Structure 1
């Protein structure tokens, strides 16, 4: 080590015989003394974020809108009748999509278990009950009563092998007869 030259922290090569020395060579040129402050390569300290403008470098300036132009934009309702016609077309498309389902219309026992468990948990956490109570206090019994009445406000998402999915409302699915007996149906 070189004393007094400011290179105390630099790694020095091994002075062993040449046959045992590693083939790694390190630079021996003197370097400027390093500051006590750590180098910032990619990350910045939290203090540095306060001084920076967080916007994009090439962000275009916002256009200035005159006062009269704002009123024109607010009062421009020419597209309103077209939106109503477009909404009717979208409703028809949604009905077609609802009919083109690939999965079964029957609720599986796993879906039923999850729906009842989740809804019972919600009811136990003071969620509003969707049916008239006749003395029931058990959250699971209340959830079963809601399922019987098809009033549980859940949507079941069934994933398909191609990555797509189908959304079914609980009121759209058929609860099988053996389950109806368990739930208390007719």
Structure 2
């Protein structure tokens, strides 16, 4: 999928690390969701992150502010404390934990990006070694509790049913048009 033009991005590749490079100073530190688990570093991190880029391309997980695949945020040296970190779950190494640290505490896309990430990883489990990928947003985000509650619901449903979509559909919670809403099936008056 091509990059999207954005007033906040430049095509200057010198701003980005390479997908095969593990550069800890350009990554967020592992957050509380990864505490006590086997945090991926070096080749284990870069291998999963290269796969993530391909899955995000296929599923359209793009950061529209910067105009690129969300996986590229980990490589953007303008935002060294933002992106994804990963850890194998201590109680079950077939489960991976992924924690997203946004560029700002008020990033308006964090909800959409983390749900898109969850769906890409869990909808394509045949492409990686994990049975399940659990996703959370770092608590530095102002809405992390609400976002993580929603991700926890999706994760529980996936764990119990093997489905990544909503019960009876595939729309993200809050994205379905309600009767009487703008663009809905019924007029608003």
Please give the range of the TM-score, normalised by the shorter of the 2 chains: under 0.3
The structure number with the bigger radius of gyration is 1
Normalised by the length of structure 2, the TM-score is: 0.23
Q: Which has the higher strand share?
A: 2
